[in-house]
């Protein structure tokens, strides 16, 4: 299915490119001001059909195929204003793909645990899937608004694009139903196993729930029952459901651990601690888990370029600009500029010139 689909959409890309009037330098009369020349806008029909194909691939969990088609869109010629709109649109789609891949991974993980009647592990995986699924849903809502705006810019109807985002919404709804069903099965498994066992209390805290990507956070917590602390008990510490470490509570049931966060530029991560009773305690204590959501911070630089609107062959012209984050100028970055098949580099102080 993948190769056939890719060829079909590649044909749409060729149709899209062929519908754009391309003007070469040799075709420009030297006595005519380039400002008087114009290039027709792309035909929106094959463009929208291509996006519909991307949305259908995502809704079929063919994420790599969708990203390949999205790369095709990136290569389509467009005016600067159109390019910015499509780049923003494509970045939101890539966010949807990333979140849905993480969601599906954790949901599949959860159902694997359910097959082995591991209710606590299944619930943990589902907990990890939920934030990604919610983020994907919010991104699709953004796509709806952007679809209407892009269609308006290209003098086309948003119907095809909204049909595609509708398929994404339905796909996310189906995944949400799988999560709900998974929680029900996990609760059923746990209830069957917990009759006659003593309730276990696990509390987990983080010193900073709004850390920077790549920084460290300190995890602290306690394990006990309503009447006693549980010392010398083994806990699993996970970050986004990936095992970070196995730690042991002290004699007072207290635990502390420092996690070095990876350089992953995502909206958030989830830290969790899980207690699974050892063989000698399995008929005494209930397995328990607690988690904390981290909202990550990272720089999203804004690159501002100032370039001439029109240039003449053989003439020099200047490109200038700046890099900012939340209106604050940044320095020390290396800028790479590609022009006329040449690459120029420059280290930014506060403003840069080429």
Summarised one tens digit per residue, pLDDT across range 40-61 is: 445 666 778 888 889 999 999 9
pTM of the prediction?
0.58
Specify whether 96 is located in the same domain as 202. Answer: no
- Residues spanned by the domain of 268: 198-295
Residues 234 and 272 occupy one common structural domain: yes
- What pLDDT shows up at residue 38? 31
List phi, psi (to 5°) of 222. -145, 155
> How many Cα atoms occupy the beta-carbon half-sphere of 96 within 13 Å?
33
Residue 269 has pLDDT above 80, yes or no: yes
166 and 22 belong to one structural domain: yes
Query: For residue 269, what is the domain's CATH number?
Result: 2.60.40.1930
Query: At which of 192, 209, 228 does a domain end?
Result: 192
- 216 φψ region: left (φ > 0), alpha (ψ -120 to 50), beta (else): beta
Residue 293 backbone phi and psi in degrees, to 5: -90, 130
Tokens representing residue 247 in the block: 């730690």
Res. 24 pLDDT band, cuts 50 70 90: very low
Mean pLDDT of the chain: 79
Q: CA-based Rg of the chain, rounded to a whole angstrom?
A: 27
- Same domain? 211 vs 155: no
pLDDT band at 234 (very low <50, low <70, confident <90, very high): very high
pLDDT in the model for residue 308: 77
For residues 287-316, average pLDDT: 81
Cα 187 to Cα 15, 125, 194: the distances in Å are: 53, 14, 10
Separation between Cα atoms, residue 224 and residue 234, nearest integer Å: 12
Quick one: average pLDDT of 165-178?
95
Q: H-helix or E-strand containing 85?
A: helix 80-115
Same structural domain, 249 and 219: yes
Q: Do 266 and 202 share a structural domain? A: yes
Chain centroid offset of residue 210 CA: 18
**If you write DSSP's letter for every residue of 100-168 in order, what string do you get?**
HHHHHHHHHHHHHHHHTT-HHHHHHHHHHHHHHHHHHHHHHHHHHHHHHHHHHHTT--SHHHHHHHHHH
Residues 46 and 182 in one domain: yes
Q: CA nearest 126: which of 112, 137, 115, 110?
A: 110
Residue 162 pLDDT:
92
Which of 168, 192, 216 marks a domain boundary? 192
> Is pLDDT at 310 greater than 70 in this prediction?
yes
Q: What DSSP character marks residue 252?
A: T
Q: Using CA atoms in the order 163, 168, 170, 175, what is the torsion angle rounded to 10 degrees? A: 170
Res. 277: pLDDT tops 80: yes
pLDDT for position 346? 61
Residue 61: per-residue pLDDT:
93
pLDDT score, position 95: 92
Return all residues near 173 (Cβ < 8 A) that are at least 6 apart: none
Q: Could you say which of 192, 216, 250 is where a domain stops?
A: 192
Residues 285 and 207 in one domain: yes
User: 179-230: per-residue pLDDT in tens?
Assistant: 999 999 988 887 777 667 778 899 999 999 999 988 999 999 999 998 899 9
């Amino acid at each position: 299915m993948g190769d056939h689909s890719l060829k079909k959409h590649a044909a749409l890309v060729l149709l899209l490119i062929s519908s754009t009037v391309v003007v070469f330098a040799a075709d420009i009369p030297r006595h005519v001001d380039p400002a008087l020349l114009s290039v027709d806008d792309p035909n929106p029909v094959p463009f929208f059909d291509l996006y519909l194909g991307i949305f259908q691939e995502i809704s079929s969990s063919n994420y790599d195929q969708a990203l390949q088609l999205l790369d095709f869109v990136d290569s389509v010629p467009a005016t600067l204003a159109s390019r910015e709109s499509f780049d923003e649109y494509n970045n939101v789609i890539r966010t949807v793909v990333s979140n849905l891949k993480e969601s599906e991974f954790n949901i599949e993980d959860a159902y694997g645990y359910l097959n082995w009647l591991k209710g606590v592990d299944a619930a943990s995986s589902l907990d990890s899937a939920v934030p990604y699924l919610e983020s994907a849903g919010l991104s699709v809502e953004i796509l709806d608004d952007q679809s209407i705006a892009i269609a308006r810019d290209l003098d086309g109807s948003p119907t095809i694009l909204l049909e595609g985002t509708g398929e994404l919404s339905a796909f996310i709804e189906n995944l949400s139903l799988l999560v709900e069903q998974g929680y029900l099965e996990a609760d059923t498994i746990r209830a069957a196993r917990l009759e006659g066992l003593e309730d276990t209390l696990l509390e987990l805290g983080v010193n900073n729930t709004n850390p920077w990507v790549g920084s460290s956070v300190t995890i602290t917590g306690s394990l006990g029952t309503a009447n006693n602390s549980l010392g010398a008990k083994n806990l699993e510490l996970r970050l986004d459901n990936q095992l970070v470490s196995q730690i042991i509570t002290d004699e007072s049931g207290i635990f502390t651990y420092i996690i070095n966060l990876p350089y992953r530029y995502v909206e958030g991560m989830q830290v969790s601690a899980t207690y699974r009773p050892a063989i000698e305690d399995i008929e005494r204590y209930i397995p328990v888990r607690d988690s904390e959501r981290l909202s990550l911070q990272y720089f999203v630089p804004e690159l501002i370029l100032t370039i001439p609107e029109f240039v003449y062959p053989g003439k020099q012209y200047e490109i200038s600009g700046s890099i900012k984050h939340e209106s604050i100028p940044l320095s020390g970055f290396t800028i790479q500029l590609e022009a006329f098949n040449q690459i120029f580099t420059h280290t930014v102080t506060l403003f840069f010139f080429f």
